Structure 1
Amino acid sequence: MSAGLWLLIALPLGGGAVLALTGPRGNRLVPALGVTVAVATLGAALAAAVSRPAVSVPLFAGMEAGLAVDGLSAVMVVTVAAVTTAVLAFASGEFSASEFSAADNRGRFFGLMLLFAGAMLVTVTATTLPPLLMAWEVMGATSWALIGYWWQRPGRAEAADVAFLTTRAADLGLYLAAGAAVAGGVGSLRLDALPRAGTPWLHVVTAGVVVAALGKSAQLPFSFWLSRAMQGPSPVSALLHSATMVAAGAYLLLRLVPLLDATGWAGPLVAWTGAATALVLGLVAVAQTDLKQLLAASTSAQIGFMVLAAGSGGVAAGTTQLVAHAATKSGLFLAAGAWLTALGTKQLPALRGAARAHRLVGVTFTVGALTLAGLPPLSLWAAKDEILAAARSEGTGRYAVGLAAAAVAAVYGVKAVWYVTRPLPQDPRSLPPSPRSLPPSPRSLPQGPRPLPQGPHALPQDPRILPPSPQAAGYDTERRGTRRIARTTPAPLLVLTLAAAVLGVLALPGPASWLKRLVGAQGEPSPEPWELGLSAGVAFAGAGLAWRCASRPAPVPPAAVRGAHGWLHLERAARVVVVRPVLGLARTLAVFDDRVVDGAVRQTARGGLAAARLARRLDDGGIDAAVHAVAAGARRLGRWARRPQTGLLHQYYAQAAVGFAVLVLIILLVR
């Protein structure tokens, strides 16, 4: 039975490693091979979800590395594998489009994507902290490489660094939790044994897990790294924002709900953080004029609902939200990527008529955006009601904030639909791209056309590249569009859109009971009929408000709107509050090291040299001189002793007589 689990892990990790090492020579075959590996992984995931394999191998004394597919992880492995397959199928056609160039290393891209998905599969099946930590690290490293895939282009490497360092700083919480668990008597480091850690180590374990999970899931105050992650290719955004990376933190909190309950303070803290993120980042999404930035902010907001569910004990509700959001968000990002390739823009004002120019993408995007808005009877409406029911059982305050966040979700979802369904601009295909909004000719860039730096934090580094005007009406505001959709685009979009629309059945009474039994949460509350009606009314009210406000000319945005557009300046605040003090402390410690620690070492060395010189003087002028004096005296005594030895017998008699006389004289004097 364990062979199925090893196969599930080995397929993406092994296949990804091989593809990543192929180099550009295998560019033509790599997309097909990558999709084949993803399909095989999906088959292994389905088989594992049925057979529920488990494996455990010794790691250290009293500690094992364990993997298992139980009820919760069974849902996750299928979700991760399915979304990965759809995204890679889409990406296989994008390499022939303008977003990529012929010189791009497809093996590196598809290999990293599979490694990324494989690390997520290990994360969701880990039953002990060591494999979880290993997979957590691999996921962070591959996300860094994927976000900075176009590292030659300005700003991309910096964006990858910001995302990596932010999540990496939060990831240290897992190491803190592991150390505290060992100190607290949980030597096996099993996840289900963490709630049994002794005090005060239990609180340290919980704090470490919460920080790591909130950082990985881009919850407040870590949310800004998700904006930077938009610098990566569209397939990367689709995978990272849906079933992997940001979902990992929410999954970990759902998995460790007993740990949150054991402390008393962690559950409310997590719940209120999720509710605040869902509301505040929803408002940030409303303020965006860049489609990918809107979707990124909405990801933080939607993950906030999952975190709210974990803090409120709603494991089944959070799982429903996670699965429905994965299908919805991956489809939306793929549609945005398809438009970016075809129309050369992702600016909402410039996407007028995009849904009419490419109707299939338009239909799938509209369904996905309305699902994101939480409109009934689509899946995220039902999933949010399950979460709100769990929140209401813990307090009306959480319920009220969650309901307000659901209203905001309707606003940003419908706002995106309004822009892309507007009438086409006058003959948009004949509108020449503005020379002020295009990068230099592809011929001057061997790595392909260079798009504008993305995100509110990225500034153009080339004076010839200016950010598109929010009032731009034509296409090609960022690059020359191909005016066509890749042949591989429709199939994954249709599958993901269908899943996004129908996964709400998991919230119906029968499927909901089955899911609660599957994840071991039979006692979770279900929404009352009045809750369903209230949330539906709030969603429709928010949608109507968004449609009405979008139809009116927008005034000059106030400072609050500009702040929301810049993601509340969270990155700037992090630089001021964390980065600058840390760098200042590092510089101070460097000076202390140079002047005190290193200075003390140098002074000790100088003292040693001085002592050595003094010892040399004492040795040369004292000890050595005394030795030489003794030797010289001995030589003189020897010379004196040789003088009486003349060899003449009468002189010996005379010497003996003198000596005898001296001896008699001494005896007489002494007496």
Structure 2
Amino acid sequence: MSPLLWSLIAVPLGSGGLLACSGSRGDRYATAVGTAVMAVTLITGVSVVVARPEASFPFFAGMGLSLMVDGLSAILIVTVVAITSVVLLYAVSELGARESRARFTGLMLLFAGAMLTTVTASNLPTLLMGWEVMGAASWALIGFWWRDSERSVSANIAFLTTRAADLGLYLAAGAALAGGSGSLALGTLPDVSQGWLELVTAGIVVAALGKSAQLPFHFWLSRAMSGPSAVSALLHSATMVAAGGYLLLRSEALLAASGWGEPVVAWTGVFTAFVLGLVAVAQRDLKQLLAASTSAQLGFVVLAAGVGSLTGGTVQLVAHAATKSALFLVAGAWLIALGTKDLRELRGAARRYRGIGVAFTLAAASLAGIPPLSLWVAKDEVLAAALAQAPALYAVGTVAALLSTVYTVKAALLVWRPAPDRAEVTLDRERVGTRRVSPLAESASWVLAGGAALLGVLGIPSLAHSLDVFLGPEADPSPALWQLVVSTVATLLVAGSVRWWAEWRIPTPLLGYRGWQEWLGVEGAVRILLVRPVLVAARTLAAFDDRVLDRLVSAVPVAALWLARLVGRRVESWLDGSIGALTGGVGLLGSLARRPQTGQLHQYYVQAVVALALLAVLVVLG
């Protein structure tokens, strides 16, 4: 079964890469190829879920690439493949005739393959490969309309923010190697020696929080809304942000072994759910509201990892994927039809297009936690585990859950309210609307909204117990009857209050704070506190390099040339003169030495007498 497991990721990755590089020649076949690839991947995924194989491949000495399918990854495989298939069908109705369908479909397949690699990876090298490809593909998809400079900037900000957090995985890998985990298997990370264990935990936590858009990394998700709606429906439901929550659920044993990982993760998750819930309530843009709610809902998954609720976190992850993908698809369909995603201008949109309006309402009711829909079940599972750990976590989590009721009921009420007079004047603010919703978009939204509703059956005790057994040996604490009653009553009361608040238009000073709409202004703070100092330091170092180091380096050859000229003018002429004088003197001495050499015998006798006389004088004097 190993070839089958490798093909699960190789088919979408390989076909996606070829399709993305095919250019305009592949546009004609993109939809058919994408559909066929996802059909094959779905069949393969079901097969590996049933067989649960393991596979490995040599990579480095003593370390290889390895894949594994267990209960958690099996559920995520089915979720990723199913939602990607539906979203790809919807994307046909969103892309224009002149847009590259081959590039878009190829990137979506690459992204799905990378996510499948991530959820089946059983060691850090394999996880890092899937993680990196997923980040690169997300950047390309968010900036798909790259000719728009603002969208390109948004893609860069989203990529750089998550990329900074991704460095935590490299820290974790290095610390795991230093701590004795030679294979870097995820299952052996809790056994790393003390000291290194803290670094491994910190790296995993930072990478996961960044990818799942938790505080303080949450602001990249707002920028990610610049991509096509199909991208938002996939990246921000079953993939990308879900990868961070999945990694924390997968690393629950590591968090427990560190001692501090569980409380830090739990409080980060519940605080994100609360704060981003307030951000979502304040939004006037439908996609921004859904994006903020994505961070908030993933906060419950992070909370589940922090309190050890594997079942609750998994159900939350899957239910959120179905619910949020449906909502994003409907938001995209309204944007195509009406040319706007401003909630004030979308009044009457559900009445105008009742098919997707009902689907939107059903998915919104699930997101609001209305019983017996899926997210009501999931949140209560997570909150029951939180109550067993710390009542304070349960209290904050309950308030965060009620905030989700506020912003989803608010959105649903606005789209069902009668359209104002001269409503056509306020439309087409962002693009020229087509004034129609394609049957594909309506069918896709209904499939996903139906999934969001039907997943509530996981709350049935017998099914919940079976899911516990499927995921692992330890069962999660189930919510008590009084918890279910309290959450139901509180949710219905808050939903009614929101309707009353909307009808009477009661001002809320807290939500008038501009920072809520700007996602707490964290992006601006990061620019001021981090980006600008780094850029200033970079410019200062560049100026130092140009004005000091470069001049010093340039001064070396200049000084050498000056010395060469000096030597040429002064030293070399003196040396030439000295050598000339020496050779002249030698020549003079030579000529003088030649004069006695006359060849006449009597002159040689005279020279010998003179020499002997001088010698005699020296002997006498000595």
Give the shorter-chain TM-score range.
over 0.9
Residue-by-residue CA offset, 1:141-199 (whole Å, 9 max, x unaligned): 11111111111124111111111111111111112222222222223222222222223
Structure 2 letter corresponding to 1:118: G
For residues 421 and 495 of structure 1, do their structure 2 counterparts lie closer, same or farther at Cα, with a shift above 3 Å needed? same
Match of residue 285, structure 1, among 280, 284, 288? 280
1:318-357 correspondence to structure 2 within 5 Å? 318-357=313-352
1:541-552 correspondence to structure 2 within 5 Å? 541-552=493-504
TM-superposed CA distance for 1:657, in Å, is: 2.2
TM-superposed CA distance for 1:508, in Å, is: 2.6
- Cα distance in structure 2, aligned partners of 1:255 and 1:198: 20
Q: Does 1:582 align with 2:534?
A: yes
Structure 1 letter corresponding to 2:79: T
For residues 193 and 353 of structure 1, do their structure 2 counterparts lie closer, same or farther at Cα, with a shift above 3 Å needed? same
Bigger relative CO (Cα 8 Å, ≥ 6 apart): 1
TM-superposed CA distance for 1:212, in Å, is: 1.2
Segments of structure 2 that go 5 or more residues without pairing to the other structure are: none
For residues 515 and 592 of structure 1, do their structure 2 counterparts lie closer, same or farther at Cα, with a shift above 3 Å needed? farther
- Cα distance in structure 1, aligned partners of 2:512 and 2:344: 21
Name the counterpart of 2:43: 43
For residues 625 and 526 of structure 1, do their structure 2 counterparts lie closer, same or farther at Cα, with a shift above 3 Å needed? farther
Q: Secondary structure at the match of 1:67?
A: strand
Name the counterpart of 2:196: 201
Aligned length: 622
Q: Does 1:150 align with 2:102?
A: no
Name the counterpart of 2:464: 512
Q: Secondary structure at the match of 1:489?
A: helix
Name the counterpart of 2:525: 573
Segments of structure 1 that go 5 or more residues without pairing to the other structure are: 435-473
Q: Does 1:367 align with 2:371?
A: no
Structure 2 letter corresponding to 1:549: W
- Cα distance in structure 2, aligned partners of 1:317 and 1:617: 89
Q: Secondary structure at the match of 2:588?
A: helix
Asked if structure 1 preserves the Cα contact closer than 8 Å seen for 2:230 and 2:329, the reply is yes
Asked if structure 1 preserves the Cα contact closer than 8 Å seen for 2:281 and 2:511, the reply is no
Name the counterpart of 1:24: 24
TM-superposed CA distance for 1:632, in Å, is: 4.1
Name the counterpart of 1:537: 489
For residues 269 and 609 of structure 1, do their structure 2 counterparts lie closer, same or farther at Cα, with a shift above 3 Å needed? farther
Name the counterpart of 1:169: 164
Asked if structure 2 preserves the Cα contact closer than 8 Å seen for 1:406 and 1:538, the reply is no
- Cα distance in structure 2, aligned partners of 1:54 and 1:624: 85
For residues 85 and 604 of structure 1, do their structure 2 counterparts lie closer, same or farther at Cα, with a shift above 3 Å needed? same
Q: Secondary structure at the match of 2:504?
A: coil
For residues 204 and 630 of structure 1, do their structure 2 counterparts lie closer, same or farther at Cα, with a shift above 3 Å needed? farther
Name the counterpart of 1:72: 72
Asked if structure 1 preserves the Cα contact closer than 8 Å seen for 2:270 and 2:300, the reply is yes
- Cα distance in structure 2, aligned partners of 1:478 and 1:423: 22
For residues 560 and 602 of structure 1, do their structure 2 counterparts lie closer, same or farther at Cα, with a shift above 3 Å needed? farther
Q: Secondary structure at the match of 1:348?
A: coil
Name the counterpart of 2:59: 59
1:189-268 correspondence to structure 2 within 5 Å? 189-268=184-263
Q: Secondary structure at the match of 1:56?
A: strand
TM-superposed CA distance for 1:621, in Å, is: 6.4
TM, length-normalised to structure 1? 0.88
Match of residue 181, structure 1, among 141, 151, 176? 176
Asked if structure 2 preserves the Cα contact closer than 8 Å seen for 1:316 and 1:521, the reply is no
Residue-by-residue CA offset, 1:228-265 (whole Å, 9 max, x unaligned): 11111110000011011111111111111111112111
Q: Does 1:476 align with 2:442?
A: no
Name the counterpart of 1:129: 124
- Cα distance in structure 2, aligned partners of 1:381 and 1:290: 25
Asked if structure 2 preserves the Cα contact closer than 8 Å seen for 1:172 and 1:212, the reply is yes
- More helix per residue: 2
1:412-427 correspondence to structure 2 within 5 Å? 412-425=407-420
Match of residue 154, structure 2, among 159, 162, 174? 159
Q: Does 1:295 align with 2:281?
A: no
Name the counterpart of 1:438: none
Q: Secondary structure at the match of 1:349?
A: coil
Residue-by-residue CA offset, 1:647-667 (whole Å, 9 max, x unaligned): 222222222222222222222
For residues 658 and 613 of structure 1, do their structure 2 counterparts lie closer, same or farther at Cα, with a shift above 3 Å needed? same
Structure 2 letter corresponding to 1:540: L
Name the counterpart of 1:91: 91
The alignment-based identity, stated in percent, is 58
For residues 385 and 608 of structure 1, do their structure 2 counterparts lie closer, same or farther at Cα, with a shift above 3 Å needed? farther
Structure 2 letter corresponding to 1:35: T
